[in-house]
Chain A
């Protein structure tokens, strides 16, 4: 009995090994569009997911999995990237800075996903990273106001651009360096270790914002940066809404990962853009698809298109 069991185990192992060995070579370059689309997504806490879903006009899927097509696969940025090198029939999205030649990055509405096209504002699957400050004279102290002004100036330098790029976003082009403009900000020569500046707004920008303040603190008298990111909606409210800005959650400078709405108007000097966050839909290199529209992507993610041929039929 035991010996039979042993023989059986050996046989199964051998069969499994043979199966693996023989199947590893069966992948062909021919693409079968009758296959189901495997939909890859980030999880609901991801800022990239929020940007992607809002960008393709599927905002209800930003934080809700139940509106997505059945059988979607959740992976992180790198997970989706590596999955697209395996899964011929998959589609996913990653941030533009992660794109490499192991996958095919899709044109969006006919525009190639390149940094240049993001900066010249032709590539549309992206969202702006915006900042907003309090009104002049409406700060806890003159020091805080001066540091915020210096930080805003810093955002426009190539030093900040490098930090933004390292954090995965796309900085606006700049030819100024901090060294060239720092003489205009005397506050940074003082010891500011007792001054706290409150940052907040979009949580998608938190990583970029923290990298920026971490780099700027030693350049500006070691002030203390306090980060409390609660969402783009709070950027205006906590800096300029008279009912909230002076409560304990008030902020000195806050970020939004979208343009400010008409209800959030402040003088132009109090707001601006620091970067772009561009997202790219990606597929396997064998996939003949090269260009998608927002409507295509929404139809794929909500399950209207289940097979790749559905996409061709509606082109």
Chain B
């Protein structure tokens, strides 16, 4: 009963905030509604018992992706009102395509039955009496160790690539060198001169 209540609560807020993401005038509001949508989706995952996926959604999407979005939206001076100018003009075409896709989705998902044979094929089925996180931890570094390392190599490649394409070593920049600063003595930094009185410099 309570689960059903929360399901409808999360779903309603999710749909409403997803709608507001595309309709709100201010792009910053859009991103904030996107974050709200992510939180509600995480809640739905929790209700399904997929607590690891829920936490991942919050950590990765809210913590990294959405903040990055917010950063970009605030950094770049994009005139979003200009993008939306043709909104009403293209609404019939866009709406028609959306309706067709929705219809297709309903037909496909409505007619879809999970094949019993395909369920038997699953390589690592969810073990009973074990939390998601524990089950993942059991296979991630054992059964999937090879793939885990391969993913690590992909990330290393991305890092090297980002550095090689964007890092410019500029010459002639004055940088603070603490050791050089500390090594300075009054002898080589200060010069004392006798000046006669009332003569100016």
Binding partners A and B: no
Taking Cβ atoms with an 8 Å cutoff, the residues of B that contact A are: none
